[in-house]
Structure 1
Amino acid sequence: MTAETQRKAPVRPLLLAKDHAVLILLAAVIVWLSLASPAFFTSANILNILNQNAPLAIIAAAGTFVIVSGNFDLSTASIFAVASVCAAWLAVETGNPLLALVAAPVVGMVLGALNGLVVASLRIHSFLATLASSMVYSALAVLITGGALITVDVDGFADFGRGSFLGVFIPVWVLAAVVAALWFLLSGTVFGRHVFATGGNAEAAELSGIRADRVKVLVFVLSGLAAGIAAAIAVSRISSGQPQAGAGMELQAIAAIILGGTSIHGGVGAVWRSVAGVFLIALVGNGFDIMNVNPQLKDLVTGLIILAAVALAAVGRRAR
Structure 2
Amino acid sequence: MITATFGALLKEIRKTNNMTQVDTCKDICSLRQYVRIENNISEPSMYLVQLLSHRLNYDLIAYYKLIYCDQTLQANTIKTEADVLIRGGQYDELEKLIDRIEYYPEFKKGENLQFIYYYKSLCAHNKSEYNQAVQYCISGLHIEDPIFSKNHLYGKISSCIGLNLYHNLGCYLNELGKLDLSIEIWNKILIDIEKKVALNFSYYQSSIEFVKQLYLSTSYNMGTQKSELEEYKLALNYFDKGIVFANKNNCSYYLTNIVRQKMRVLYTLKQYNEARASYDICMGLYLLQGDINELKSCEEIMKEDYPELSKIKMYE
Place the TM-score, normalised by the shorter chain, in its bin: under 0.3
TM (norm. structure 2) is 0.26
TM (norm. structure 1) is 0.26
